Chain A
Amino acid sequence: MPPLDKRIKKFLKNSIRVAPKISNKGELAELRSGLVSQYPQTRKDAIKKTIQQMTLGKDVSSLFPDVLKNIATNDVEQKKLVYLYVMNYAETHPELCILAVNTFVTDAQDPNPLIRCMSIRTMSMIRVDKILEYVEIPLRRTLQDDNPYVRKTAVICVAKLFQLNKELCIELGVLEDLVCALDDNNPMVVANATASLSEINAMDPTVVSLLDLIQSHVSQFLLALNECTEWARITILGALAEYTARDCVEAQEIIDRVTAHLQHVNPAVVLSSVKVIIKNLVQIEPESKRIVMTKLSSALVSIMSTPPEMQYVALRNIRIILEKYPTLLTKEARIFYVKFNDPLYVKLEKIDILVRLVDPTNLKQCSVLMRELKEYAMEFEPEFVSRAIQGLAQLAIKCGDVKFVSKTFEILLDLLESQEALKNDCCIAVCDLLRHAVGNEKLATDACQLLSTWPVNETLLLSDSAKCNYVWLMGQYPNKFDELQDKLLCFIENFVEEEPLTQTSILVTVVRLHSKLPGSVLQNVLELATNQIQELDVRDMAIIYWRCLSMPNSDQLIAELCSSVSPQIENTLHTFTSDVLEKLLTEISSVSSIYFKPQFDGPRGAVRHHNVVRGRHIDELKDLAKNELARKANDDVLLDFDDDEEDLVSPRSSMAGGRAQSHMDDLDTLFDFGTSSSSQNNGNDNIDKGVADLNLGQAEQQQNQQQQTQTQSKINSNTQDLLDLF
């Protein structure tokens, strides 16, 4: 213990805060003087102020060297602040980052595990090649650290390193360390290592064989599951879901272990457990299957008491599960009834689930639901009401009972009469029912009676599909409509302005009824459709009809086409194809389960390319900074800066006039990349998205062109300077 006066002195020195000098040089100068102050507390205050400015979006990057000086301290808080600053500006000032390397390496050996962890985390977060060169020793050291807190961070850093520089990561051999971390005695480390490995596997499946690793570590995972935090559990459950059990005994064991987590308070854990269970459910005995199903359904029900956002996610996932196991939640229908204070998006999903989960053979349940939906149809939110009406039709078709259908029909007609605004949706629903109940003359007569009284010229039917259905109805039951010709002519008048569905429908109806219409109508419509419509489907259809009509035995052909009876529709609920369903079931509780779009198989090429672009962008910035410094310092030494970097693939554009050719090559590769990534994207998704991607690709190309011109001008302006310097 030092003597009292010394302690007092030390205390005073540490707590002195110098009042900021009011200078006319501005805020930055003020901050700078604070940062280099001799009093630690003042320096710390200045760092805080700098970071405050940084978060406000002001550019305080010019203070980088001064802030960096404060990195050497024992104060964890101050260190953290400086790290925060370094991380934020590392990308714009890559060249200055190397000044911090030594500190990072030293900090990775600090006695304080917090600092060790912080240093390795920050180091791997800085996306600068220069830093990565020095990451080896600290990373290796922290991977073998005594403290699990440091180890669990280090294993994540391996994945980060892999993303930034795959070759380096493989060369360093840290992947072997990562695999060893799966055997760690700390569950957190195991979980993070799993997460890290699956990230790496997603980036490049050839490097590690994740499936084999999971297979050999299943027992470890099951053991670790009970001891780790919720997020770690989700990771481990995710890994377990990748694994296919060898036999029914093992599947049963996995299910038994995982079932306990269905009670977890975090819905993500619950959904992940559901995923694992569903994966193994197919393998176990039918006897125990029933018990597991009960547990599953109660778990899913329990998520319905979470906040609406989570309910929504749960509902989307339930919809997938229901398609595989339709009877899973039949008894729990009541839980999914819409509450008055549910947000709209939850309400809509609930209606969908309700219609799906009812047992079509249980007439009583169906009628209860029908009454419920009828209530919903009386509500005021238009989207909700239209979904409810759609639900009514779907329910009736799913149930299929004749009486039930006619009852639903009555409800729809009632609704139609009570409220004008529902005409669109009721029209669609009624037509759906008629398509289901083919040959039910009574229904058709009632429907046409009501619908034919509508004045067409008024803007009653707004939506495309409603108009389409109305026109279809006219074509289907022409005898039941009064003033059919006027109505149809009314539609034909607006033919060009209509949307594609209606256009197609008009076209079909006119062809069907051409014998009942004046001869010029058909000719007129066909001409309009072939000459004035941009929509390919409509045009092609018109051309085909025209061909048919101009064939020698056209009358017979047309009669055949028109009199064909469309099959009865059994189900209007949207379903997945079987392979999509299987894929989605393995992706429960992920984003793809919410969008109903399975993940793209294969390497995430596009993502990696993106990073490369970023890297290049940084490089350009780096060059800019370098040139600026070069001009300022007028110091040739600076140009040696890049010498030890020669092996990197990065384009050092505008380094010298003599290398202009190589820049052009670099730019060409950039250019190529633009097109290749867009084509990859195309393969990535369905066609309609492909069109958007094409645009994206074009934009990218344009950008590249811009870059090219920029760099060219840069080369011109800098060549002279640089040649002088050389």
Chain B
Amino acid sequence: MGNFFSSMFDRLWGVNKELRILILGLDGAGKTTILYRLQIGEVVTTKPTIGFNVETLSYKNLKLNVWDLGGQTSIRPYWRCYYADTAAVIFVVDSTDKDRMATAAKELHLMLQEEELQDSALLVFANKQDQPGALTASEVSKELNLVELKDRSWSIVASSAVKGEGITEGLDWLIDVVKEEQL
């Protein structure tokens, strides 16, 4: 009942819900760089995130509450603490890191099995395209076994956080999907 009223209230006053978006991925994939690329449009020098960064940003009249969680092995188990109420997941992959592609795939599928993430959209950034030897988006997609994903809207976008390529395209797609589903 309370939920009903509060959602009524939201619509009545046009108060938009914040959309919770998680940025996940192995360590050193470029999550924090993408987050601050989105927020302030600049490349910031980052240190490994121990814990999380959270920023609120407005994008196309939507309020996005973006959580960037650290990717260290030691922190990955705690990702689950942040799954609740998540509209979308952005999974960032270091396209040059061929050795750990399998680990990334495992983490991704493990995460997607979670109950709380069944309804969230997935956007994969095949990041670091500016570097030599980077796998293309389709190669990454193959490595990550993305085709296996059913019942979920997903997309993969080749990106370079440093150059700012592909980030907005990816986000545009994500927002469209999320808008359709959530609002």
Contact = CB atoms under 8 A, between A and B. Distances in A.
A641 interface: yes
A130 to B, nearest CB: 9
A569 interface: no
A462 interface: no
B19 to A, nearest CB: 10
Nearest to B14: A9
A106 interface: yes
B27 to A, nearest CB: 11
A96 B78 CA distance: 8
Given A9-B15, A13-B15, A38-B17, A633 B77 contact: yes
A639 B1 CA distance: 44
Given A9-B14, A38-B17, A38-B18, A102 B78 contact: no
Contact of B73 (A12, A19, A134, A643): A643
B15 A21 contact: no
Q: Is the interface of A mostly helix, strand, loop or mixed?
A: helix
Interface in A1-50: 9, 12-13, 16, 18-19, 21, 36, 38
B52 A103 contact: yes
Nearest to A633: B77
A532 B51 CA distance: 71
A134 B17 CA distance: 35
Interface in A228-243: none
Contacts of B53: 72, 102, 106
A72 B52 CA distance: 9
29 contacts: A12-B13, A12-B15, A13-B15, A16-B6, A16-B9, A38-B85, A69-B54, A69-B82, A72-B53, A72-B54, A98-B74, A98-B75, A99-B51, A99-B52, A99-B75, A99-B78, A99-B81, A102-B49, A102-B53, A103-B52, A134-B50, A633-B77, A633-B80, A635-B110, A637-B77, A638-B77, A641-B73, A643-B73, A644-B74
A56 to B, nearest CB: 24
A217 B77 CA distance: 52
A132 B49 CA distance: 15
B30 interface: no
Contact of A102 (B2, B52, B73): B52
A65 B78 contact: yes
Interface string B1-38: 01100100100011101100000000000000000000
A375 B144 CA distance: 96
A465 to B, nearest CB: 66
Interface in A270-311: none
Nearest to A42: B6
Nearest to A69: B82
A213 interface: no
A633 B3 CA distance: 32
Contacts of A496: none
Contacts of B98: none
Interface in A67-102: 68-69, 72, 96, 98-102
Contacts, number: 72
Given A12-B13, A38-B17, A69-B82, A102 B51 contact: yes
B2 A641 contact: no
A640 interface: yes
Nearest to A39: B6
A643 B78 CA distance: 17
A323 interface: no
A168 interface: no
B82 A21 contact: no
Interface of B: 2-3, 6, 9, 13-15, 17-18, 47, 49-54, 70, 73-78, 80-82, 84-85, 110
Given A65-B81, A641-B73, A643-B73, 14 more contacts: A9-B15, A16-B6, A16-B15, A96-B78, A98-B51, A98-B75, A99-B50, A102-B50, A102-B52, A103-B51, A633-B80, A637-B73, A640-B73, A644-B74
Contacts of B52: 72, 99, 102-103
A700 interface: no
A699 interface: no
A629 interface: yes
B77 A98 contact: no
Interface string A98-122: 1111110110000000000000000
Nearest to A36: B84
A65 B54 CA distance: 14
Contacts of B13: 9, 12
A629 B77 contact: yes
Contacts of B78: 65, 96, 99
A635 B53 CA distance: 25
A98 B85 contact: no
Contacts of A640: 73-74
A644 B74 CA distance: 9
A65 B83 CA distance: 11
B2 A19 contact: yes
Contacts of B2: 18-19, 21
A100 B51 contact: yes
Q: Most A CB atoms within 10 A — which of B2, B47, B50?
A: B50
Contacts of A106: 53
A683 to B, nearest CB: 42
A383 interface: no
A101 B47 CA distance: 12
Nearest to B70: A102
B14 to A, nearest CB: 7
Contacts of A638: 77
- What 7 pairs between A and B have smallest CB-CB spacing? A65-B81, A102-B51, A101-B50, A72-B54, A640-B73, A99-B51, A641-B74
Interface string A124-136: 0000000000100
A66 interface: yes
Contact of A36 (B17, B73, B76, B85): B85
Contacts of B17: 38
A30 to B, nearest CB: 12
Nearest to B9: A16
Contacts of B74: 98, 640-641, 644
Contacts of B49: 102
Contact of B81 (A12, A66, A101, A105): A66
A68 B50 CA distance: 13
A19 B2 CA distance: 7
Nearest to A21: B2
Q: Most B CB atoms within 10 A — which of A9, A18, A637?
A: A637
Contacts of B9: 16
A611 B78 CA distance: 29
A643 B53 CA distance: 24
A643 B27 CA distance: 15
B38 to A, nearest CB: 16
Nearest to B1: A21
B165 to A, nearest CB: 27
Contacts of B82: 65, 69
Contacts of A36: 84-85
Contacts of A65: 78, 81-82
A25 B74 CA distance: 31
Nearest to A645: B74
Contacts of A641: 73-74, 77
A101 B54 CA distance: 13
Nearest to B107: A637
B145 to A, nearest CB: 19
B6 A18 contact: yes
Contacts of B81: 65-66, 68-69, 99
A640 B50 CA distance: 15
Nearest to B32: A102
A637 B6 CA distance: 40
B49 to A, nearest CB: 5
A724 B166 CA distance: 42
A63 to B, nearest CB: 10
Interface in A609-647: 629, 633, 635, 637-638, 640-641, 643-644
Contacts of B77: 629, 633, 635, 637-638, 641
Contacts of B6: 16, 18
